[in-house]
Structure 1
Amino acid sequence: MTTLLHIDASARSGRSGTDPHGSHSRRLSARFVEQWQKARPGDRIVYRDVGQHPPHPVTGEWIHAAFTKPEVREPWMRNVLAESDALVDELLEADVIVAGVPMYNFGVPAGFKAYIDNIVRVGRTFGFDRSRQGLPYWPMLTDMHKRLVILGARGDYGYEAGERIAHANHVEPHIRTVFGYLGIENVHGIAVEYDEFGDERLKASLAQAERRIEALVEELATSLGTTTRLPDPA
């Protein structure tokens, strides 16, 4: 059985097309999960909403606890790291991570940044040894064959590689860098653009994103050995 970790990071609680002022990224991530369940109904789905329920930000005490060897941690250190441990456990158990992450001021939402800071954990998701020859850091999730899907939404347009404002996109590149640092390099990205315009271009972008999601679900589900074929998109 495959475990899919579904993360939403939008500050908006609803989904566009369904709820007033709903989130495009939530709409896309929900679409992905719905299609996945059709293809692989026996898989386990774990949901984490860091937009509505953001993890606590990293503090000095958190850093002190995280860089203290587990066997000598005091009770307060274990308490400080409890939320982070739960988030890391979810990540380690997941085979596929689907993250709905909108662009806020050219970067990721604060809740998702807090999530990142909680899962980048020395001794759990990356290793560190000052005496190690070469680089003292190494990824710990490399051999787990995890797949990451980033589903985004942007107010403007032209953020893809080679386009007019690709240099201002600090969402997908940031996420790819962080998860690659942990050893997750099988990454796919799909995003809606033109949100601030709200015209036919937004509708076309949404339709294109949903078609790409359907194709990606079938590709990934098939790679995991599913025997259930998705219906052709209408």
Structure 2
Amino acid sequence: MRILHVDASAKRERSNSRALARFFLERLRDEHVNVEVDYLDVTVDTPAHVNEAFAIATYTPAAERTPEMKAALAPSDALCRRLLEADACVFAMPMYNWSMPSAFKAYVDNITRAGLTYVNGPDGRIHGVLTRQKVLFITSRGADLRVEPYSSMDALTPALRAAFGFIGVAEPGFVDAQPLQFSEPAARMAALERARAELSTVAAKWAAAVEAQPASPVQTNQDAMASSVA
């Protein structure tokens, strides 16, 4: 399974979302899933924010783009390619001021591309291309947004659902560790334990889905050859 793993926390080793993402990948390996990770830290390799050149180039038909337009879109093209080549995506981020970190918003802007991650169908409707990838969002939140007075302030979950639903992700998974920073130590520990338990469950489900998939013709031939040699 080729997994695109994207971290978006400004913190490094002190980041809960980063730690939880690593935990999830470890659980997948414990479930005997053959994991190949394509890693991106958008706080280090931050995608460029949309500017005029990008906005003009992205809506110019590909056949009509100038070399300058192609150059302006090249980093976005590469990000889209990595996304499309993945079998699954793990996006880990904290909630900043009720929504996503700006570095991840820049990533979203770069991967929302006409003709690449969504297409305009003959019926006039927009069709997202990411229909085969599993997608998991791992978020950390300082407060507990499951209860009032904060439950109405969660702009992160609907924004992620909308952005990735637009490009074809119909059923993303969410594991939210909360409350963390603005809570007592016992509540923080409980929140992290709850998140790890949920991630272990998701890992088991992903592993079962991988196990249930029919082997590709290439893999079947390789298994047959291995059996004959044995």
| TM value normalised by structure 1 | 0.85
- 8 A Cα contact 1:13 1:52, kept in partner: no
Q: Distance in 2 between matches of 1:176 and 1:43?
A: 25
Instruction: Please state if 1:201 is matched with 2:187.
Output: yes
CA RMSD of aligned residues (A): 1.9
Q: For residue 182 of structure 1, what is the aligned residue in structure 2?
A: 167
- 8 A Cα contact 2:128 2:169, kept in partner: no
Q: Distance in 2 between matches of 1:218 and 1:191?
A: 18
Q: Which runs of 5+ in 1 are unaligned?
A: 15-21, 228-234
Instruction: Please state if 1:169 is matched with 2:154.
Output: yes
Runs of 4+ in 1 over 3 A off after TM superposition: none
Cα deviation 1:76-115 (Å, max 9, x = unaligned): 1111111101110011011111110110000100000000
Q: For residue 4 of structure 1, what is the aligned residue in structure 2?
A: 3
Give the match's secondary structure for 1:101: strand
Deviation at 1:172, TM superposition (A): 1.6
Amino acid of the structure 1 residue aligned with 2:194: Q
Q: Distance in 2 between matches of 1:217 and 1:202?
A: 22
1:34-53 equivalent positions in 2, closer than 5 A: 34-53=26-45
- 8 A Cα contact 2:4 2:40, kept in partner: yes
Amino acid of the structure 2 residue aligned with 1:128: N
1:66-215 equivalent positions in 2, closer than 5 A: 66-128=58-120, 133=123, 136-141=124-129, 144-157=131-144, 159-160=145-146, 164-194=149-179, 195-215=181-201
Amino acid of the structure 1 residue aligned with 2:2: T
Structure in which a larger fraction of residues adopt helix: 2
Cα deviation 1:12-54 (Å, max 9, x = unaligned): 122xxxxxxx011101111111212232453321101112321
Deviation at 1:146, TM superposition (A): 1.4
- 8 A Cα contact 1:126 1:181, kept in partner: yes
Q: For residue 49 of structure 2, what is the aligned residue in structure 1?
A: 57
Deviation at 1:72, TM superposition (A): 1.8
Q: Which runs of 5+ in 2 are unaligned?
A: 214-230
Q: Distance in 1 between matches of 2:112 and 2:160?
A: 12
| TM value normalised by structure 2 | 0.86
Q: Distance in 2 between matches of 1:125 and 1:77?
A: 18
Give the match's secondary structure for 1:224: helix
Q: Percent identity over the alignment?
A: 29
The more displaced of 109-118 and 46-55 is 46-55
Give the match's secondary structure for 1:197: coil
Q: Specify the structure having the higher radius of gyration (Cα).
A: 2
Q: Distance in 1 between matches of 2:103 and 2:32?
A: 29
Q: Distance in 1 between matches of 2:91 and 2:148?
A: 23
* Matched residues, number: 212
Give the match's secondary structure for 2:68: helix
Amino acid of the structure 2 residue aligned with 1:212: E
